[in-house]
Structure 1
């Protein structure tokens, strides 16, 4: 019994010593405030020890020290010939947010438990952070441009998250900040560069609401849903559809949507979607081309040719592709006839009829592939193999030259 009492007394003694030691650390840090970087290092043990970490004043002191470091470096930006250490500047900025927000959390917990009647520090700290918050965008941009996407995500994320923090409920310029959707897009792009799908999913719902740049968030979000350990095809499709609806000029969404419909054999559903988009933007060459491709998939060659001729008449984008697609409308049906003809004896009168039909269709396709070649000579996938086959069939002298050009 005496031994237990001695051990218990010793435990109390060591606990008291530990508390006293951490309180001493806080006092030492306060006395070293004239050198905030040194004081911040001294204070570090107090931030992890429960005896001091549960005191809001510890976190306020930590934030104050980072604010002093930040202010010292920031001042250099405005002095003639001043050379600020931007890495130090931005690191202290992020830590200031971290420590002041933690201070508020600890203080609010004490209010909730009844240990404090009301918070004393929130308004002052919120005001301090609101003043420096715009600098987070500079910090994020600087990191992003250097390829330091982890830091960029940190700074952009802090900027985006602060309006949702209850600490800023009464700070109108933060609570109602209209820049949040734009900066959220940058956070999403940084997260996407890191393959951090969770952060993409976290910030994209805010970023997608930006009228001009929101497509970036939706594109990254679709990418996040399509990869990883557990791809979510349902959410991927929802995101692609939302992107096509909100940002029809971004070919990524419409292209992926149409590819999906074609792969699933849902051509009519795809045509309904593209016709809806064309109704909103009849001048879109891209939508018209997509419609031509869909009609081609249905073997509606007349409709395909009409859509492609509309593109050619506008003489803008995708003219080479439109010419090649018209060529397809003759070339591939010609191949079908040729394949069927290969099953017939050459002595059969129908064989000669078939050969004549193949040559007729290939001859119709030829000028369109040649036009595509003229417009995009380097895009050999668009016309190369088809023209080569046509020249072979029609006994054109161009066959040898094209074969050499294609490297066969």
Structure 2
């Protein structure tokens, strides 16, 4: 009797296993015919069986079904993305069970050549990568940048060495304000040998210094970048800018001198050179650098504004000194010192006028020009700016 019962159990188990294999075959047939909902239901049933559930091929079939569902969903919404993510997770589970060097593992990793007929595609994890990339491009062209990023990101999860995918993902993430995501993708790019990493370095520096207010980390990135690209002028500018932020003035000036020796007409570096000289008390040297930057590029707003502002500062210092004199000294020197101050005021006018031309709605510059012309008794010019300011800010603009 015991033998009979045991035989019946073995027959039942064999029948059940055979039945589950039949379910797997049916799922594969429905996968090929396009009845994906039925195929997924069948393969999920087969995965509950100890024998077919332990077979990596069953997991691979599920990943393929999920991938085909992902690819056939043209709505390209978050729900679509979830199908792709589910396929990715199942591919990963398959690799864990089978190993990359096994026959099943090789099927998971098989190359997918874009453009081949659907029936010849391997439906591997690389098919998932290419399908997700195509969806990213589609959504980007439709200005759906959020979903474009998500699909680029999914494609990048498959292949962390694909520079096109990760550059696009990083660019979009940065543009969307997703700075941690952007750093992740640019970080992958920085790890790839032989890749031209300059743009990735630029983005990383900007994110760290501007968005995250972390000049120390940004400086570390710049120094790593300069090892790879020692002659890059933009990196040299970043280094100087960050040294200034970190209050490393001596190092900054040394870098500025080196940069200007290589690129004497670089307006940004001339501006920083002027700033450093101004901070150290070399006002004439600073003014010379600001003026030179404008000679190089007459439309350089910062050079014009800084030159004008420094000329105003020089005139104010003269007037402050004049006001501190004794009555007797004031009588002796007021005329000459007043003329000198007025000359600086007058010299500042063209720089501020150019600044206003470049930024025609800047009411602060209008106010400065109003004050200068009032000081110089240029009544018509002062009234011109007064009218503009009343029009833009109202009659009480001076009280703002």
Q: TM-score of the superposition, structure 1-length normalised?
A: 0.67
Distance 2:17 2:335 in 1: 98
Contact 1:359 1:394 in 2 (8 A): no
Aligned-partner SS, 2:281 = coil
Deviation track 1:379-407 (CA, whole Å, cap 9, x = no partner) reads 63674343333223222213233233233
Aligned-partner SS, 1:395 = coil
Q: How many Å apart are 1:102 and its aligned residue?
A: 3.1
The match for 2:314 is 333
**Aligned residues between the structures:** 351
The correspondence of residues 271-286 of structure 1 with structure 2, limited to 5 A, is 271-286=253-268
Distance 1:361 1:393 in 2: 10
Q: Which runs of 5+ in 2 are unaligned?
A: 1-15, 115-126, 391-396
Distance 1:372 1:19 in 2: 87
Contact 1:274 1:287 in 2 (8 A): yes
Q: 1:218 aligns with which of 201, 204, 207?
A: 204
Distance 1:237 1:351 in 2: 54
Q: 2:134 aligns with which of 128, 131, 138?
A: 138
Q: Which runs of 5+ in 1 are unaligned?
A: 1-17, 74-83, 110-117, 165-176
Counterparts in 2 of 1:161 and 1:41: CA distance versus 1, 3 Å? closer
The correspondence of residues 67-146 of structure 1 with structure 2, limited to 5 A, is 68-69=68-69, 85=74, 87=76, 96-108=87-99, 119-129=102-112, 132=127, 133-146=129-142
Deviation track 1:55-107 (CA, whole Å, cap 9, x = no partner) reads 31222112332455577x5xxxxxxxxxx936399756665544334322221
Q: TM-score of the superposition, structure 2-length normalised?
A: 0.68
Deviation track 1:219-263 (CA, whole Å, cap 9, x = no partner) reads 464269826xxxx55323323555688595659x946x5555445
Deviation track 1:292-349 (CA, whole Å, cap 9, x = no partner) reads 233233332332233234333334541x54333333332102212333444456x342
The match for 1:171 is none
Distance 1:123 1:316 in 2: 63
Distance 2:18 2:146 in 1: 38
Distance 2:47 2:151 in 1: 24
Aligned-partner SS, 1:127 = coil
Q: 2:27 aligns with which of 26, 29, 50?
A: 29
Contact 2:36 2:69 in 1 (8 A): yes
The correspondence of residues 263-274 of structure 1 with structure 2, limited to 5 A, is 264-274=246-256
Aligned-partner SS, 2:76 = helix
Deviation track 1:137-175 (CA, whole Å, cap 9, x = no partner) reads 3322333455655543443234444456xxxxxxxxxxx
Counterparts in 2 of 1:286 and 1:368: CA distance versus 1, 3 Å? same
Contact 2:133 2:155 in 1 (8 A): yes
Q: 1:364 aligns with which of 317, 336, 344?
A: 344
The answer on 1:406 being equivalent to 2:389 is yes
Counterparts in 2 of 1:205 and 1:100: CA distance versus 1, 3 Å? same
Counterparts in 2 of 1:27 and 1:355: CA distance versus 1, 3 Å? farther
The answer on 1:57 being equivalent to 2:57 is yes
Distance 1:224 1:95 in 2: 36
Contact 2:27 2:43 in 1 (8 A): no
Distance 2:233 2:270 in 1: 12
Distance 1:235 1:267 in 2: 18
Contact 2:233 2:259 in 1 (8 A): no
Distance 1:403 1:363 in 2: 22
